[in-house]
A and B are shown apart, each in its own frame.
Chain A
Amino acid sequence: MAFTLAFPGRAPVAYGRRAVPQLFEELQKPEPEDKMRALNSLCDLLHDPEHLYQTVRSGLLETLNPLLRDPDSTVRTRTCDLLRQVAAHSIGCRALLLPSLVASLSLLLDDPHSGCRVAVHRILNLLALLPSGADVLLSLVPKLMLRLTDTLLETNEEDGAEELGSKETAQEEGSKETTLEEGSKEEDEVEENDKGVEERKGKDGNEEIRDEEGETEQGFEESKEENEELEEDENQEEIKRDKGQKEGEKEQGDKQVNIKQEQQEQEEEEMVLLLSTLTRCSYLDPLPALASDGVKLLRDKLAHSSAHVRREAAAAMLALSIPMEGKQQLCDLGVLSDLIPLLQDQDTEVRANAAGVCAFTFVVTTGKVQGVELGLIPILLDIVSLEELSTDSLVSVGRVNKDLLQRRKTLLLYCLRALSVVSDYPAARRLLLEERPLLERRTDTDPELRQATQSVLKAISWSPL
């Protein structure tokens, strides 16, 4: 009784060795509430590696298979959370690579409940970090690409629905437009979503580290400011609404907005996870993704409203641009023109990934030609010159700024590499020769950056004679 009072919604846990098997036995009960309680307790237990080993060694993960097909969506979601706990461990990860479980998970990708889908994507993301996991997931890549198209359609519909939305939402968006720098409605909602995503990350300790790092940028600071402004605006809005309109309507509007926001957040998270999984799989073997029109689908995502999605899409595009066929496709589809806005994006990671794609695409002659025609070289030079000043200025201690430095360094490296690659093309070389003093002026402390600069200079000053 004390247990149920202390931990509501949890099944009682047996002592020692019997804990996990007994909870698994309880999972066989037909009642969904019993299952939920048992799952909650298991989620707590499986943080402990000892229990995890026990679970894996006794092969109890197989029994979770029917739960993944349970008619109740909360049960499914919780089972996915549980599997995610298991996947966070290397032994669990390897145990999860059973074909039956992978098949059930792939079935869940089409689940109508979006929370369940997000959970499945988390699992797949963790699986993809392991090379053998990525190997298994390669077979799922076509299906994931299909999911990409599906979510693309859904987001389009949602955007359309929101544009037709209620007065309150329009007013909200209108006020944001006036105060914030970015103009599009979607960007504003996305900033809210980013804030929401951050909040959720704060609560859930086991979130993707990448998402955390993604926010630790110049863009992070800017978005924080924007979010503060948003909060103020929201308060003002609410005050106005209290004065002007009935409370009931406002509450309904808030609810609708909240629901839509939640849905959007979930969709966005799903997209981000999906794209990162695809990226990792494509690093291992890009051919399946390329075969299923990966380039075209990713190109549509490059212009997404959310910075996370853009970053992940650019990363996936980078992975796809490594093989020769990928480069060819990129050049054929003219993706470089889509990268121009990304190179001027706020988020450093987005820029870094975009620069990476450029660097890889420039390896091919058509890429070089397109690069020069589209005027990518001045953009890259701008980045190089801008970043120069700030690299040395940030010398403060802390992991956050170490990541910042790392991001900047990556961006610079990619840009310099892109320039060195493109300078095989005589027209590009001519352009760059004019800007040579700029590059010579660079004083980097990092040996890699120095080496990169040297290689650029060498490439520029190469002549056939």
Chain B
Amino acid sequence: MKELESLVENLKIKFNEENSEKKKEQDQVRKLEQTLEKEREEFRETIKTVPLRTRRSLQTAARPALQSSISLTFLPLRPSRAVENRSKYREAPPDQSQSHYGNIMYDRRVVRGNTYAQRILPTTTQAELAEMQKQQEQRRKAVAQRKAREQIRVRTPEALQGRQHTEVQTELYLEELSNIVMENDVQCQTDAFLDKPDTPLFIPAKSGVDATTQIEDGELFDFDREVQSVLEVLVGKVMEQSLLEVMEEEELACLRAQQRAFEERRDVQLTEVQKLQEQERRHTEEKKRRIAQQNEVLKKEKEIAEKIAARAYTQQYLANLVPSIFTSLRCHGFFVNTVQTDVETNFMPWLMNEISSSLDKRYDARSVLDDIIKERRPARERKTCCKLSRGTEAAKKILFLISKD
């Protein structure tokens, strides 16, 4: 009994240990799960408050200013620069004059691995800060509520002194509880594909009663007799159609022939017509030419008559012309006989002058003679003077003779 009790106690202790270990593990797991849940809730809450676009951008780390729901391009806020190496432990900050650039792949700050189960730091802004605080308060409340619930929750009371709680299976058959699952790997491989064989023709099973019938020659109809009417119709139609067509063609040919004959006659008549036209044209042209000729002749005759009349008139008009011209010219002194003029102008006046002078002389002589006579024989001699004067002619002669001498 005591041994049993001691065994039982040992077992209990072991169980307790195991249980405690398990509890610890479970607690750890639970804690981890709780933290995960918390984070998830936080993330979900933050995400829910943020609009869709920014959610996506948060998810894809796009620049908040250039947000298009479709594009996922990353545009840096600042110009890119190489990342400096940061040591594991803190150093005095102003010590470094030269910056060491390290390999970004081995930088502790670079997040590696899948990102869907990571903590995602939401971008904090003023508006969101308030939200953040609210969320934190909510979280605290939730935690507090959970704790409260946990406390209220009834658990199994603690074991009495000297006792241990063990977990025991109470079913009929004990089961080994373990997380390790018995696994068996079994493989199976099909054979290489063979061609599907042809499906056999489905011939349904015979059912019903067989019955036969056969139509012997001559039972249904007599082909030659029946076909005759059909043939007649066919051949008749064909013949009729062809006759119609041939007749049509014949008719057309007749029409064409008639048309041609007409056209030829027309052409022949046309020659006649054209010949007559030409003849007419020639005749009219000839007539025109002759009339024109005749007109010409008449015109010429008329012209000639006019010419003759004109000539006669001018002749008559100009008959007096020449003498009158001559006379006028002569009047104007154009036809000058120089000798004559000379004689007339010079000689004759001179002659006249001479004559007049000689006559004057004679007159003077006579008068002188008269005077003389008068002086010498005044009374009787006056008579004799008269006689003398009557006898002047003789005196003249004497004088003339005197003067001549």
Chain A interface (Cβ within 8 Å of chain B)? 47, 205-206, 209-210, 212-213, 283, 318, 322, 352, 356, 359-360, 362-365, 403, 406, 410, 413-414, 417-418, 420-421, 424, 448, 452, 455
The residues of A that contact B249 with a CB separation of less than 8 Å are 205-206
Contact flags B268-288 to A (C-beta < 8 A → 1, else 0) = 101110110111001000000
* A209/B252 in contact, CB under 8 A: yes
Nearest CB to that of B256 among chain A residues? A209
Consensus secondary structure, chain A interface: helix
* B268/A410 in contact, CB under 8 A: yes
Stretch with Cβ within 8 A of A (4 or more), from B204-212, B232-240, B259-267, B371-379 = B259-267
Is B247's beta carbon under 8 Å from chain A? no
* B272/A417 in contact, CB under 8 A: yes
CA distance A414 to B265 in the complex (A): 9
A206 to chain B, nearest CB (A): 8
CA distance A406 to B261 in the complex (A): 7
* B245/A417 in contact, CB under 8 A: no
Is B144's beta carbon under 8 Å from chain A? no
Can you spell out 6 A-B residue pairs with CB atoms less than 8 angstroms apart?
Answer: A209-B256, A210-B256, A410-B264, A413-B265, A417-B275, A452-B268
* A421/B257 in contact, CB under 8 A: no
Considering residues B245, B252, B261, B272, which has the most beta carbons from chain A within 10 angstroms of its beta carbon?
Answer: B272
* B267/A356 in contact, CB under 8 A: yes
Is B253's beta carbon under 8 Å from chain A? yes
* A424/B275 in contact, CB under 8 A: yes
The residues of A that contact B270 with a CB separation of less than 8 Å are 322, 360
* A359/B252 in contact, CB under 8 A: no
Further contacts, 17 of them, CB under 8 A, given A209-B252, A365-B282: A47-B245, A209-B253, A209-B256, A210-B256, A213-B257, A352-B264, A356-B267, A356-B268, A356-B271, A363-B278, A406-B260, A413-B268, A417-B272, A421-B274, A424-B278, A424-B279, A455-B272
The residues of B that contact A421 with a CB separation of less than 8 Å are 271, 274-275, 278
B270 to chain A, nearest CB (A): 7
* B271/A360 in contact, CB under 8 A: yes
CA distance A410 to B265 in the complex (A): 8
* A417/B271 in contact, CB under 8 A: yes
Considering residues B261, B270, B271, which has the most beta carbons from chain A within 10 angstroms of its beta carbon?
Answer: B271
The residues of B that contact A418 with a CB separation of less than 8 Å are 271
B272 to chain A, nearest CB (A): 6
* A363/B256 in contact, CB under 8 A: no
The residues of A that contact B261 with a CB separation of less than 8 Å are 406
A32 to chain B, nearest CB (A): 29
CA distance A448 to B265 in the complex (A): 9
Contact residue among A206, A283, A363 (Cβ-Cβ distance under 8 Å from B274): A363
CA distance A365 to B275 in the complex (A): 11
The residues of A that contact B252 with a CB separation of less than 8 Å are 209
The residues of A that contact B256 with a CB separation of less than 8 Å are 209-210
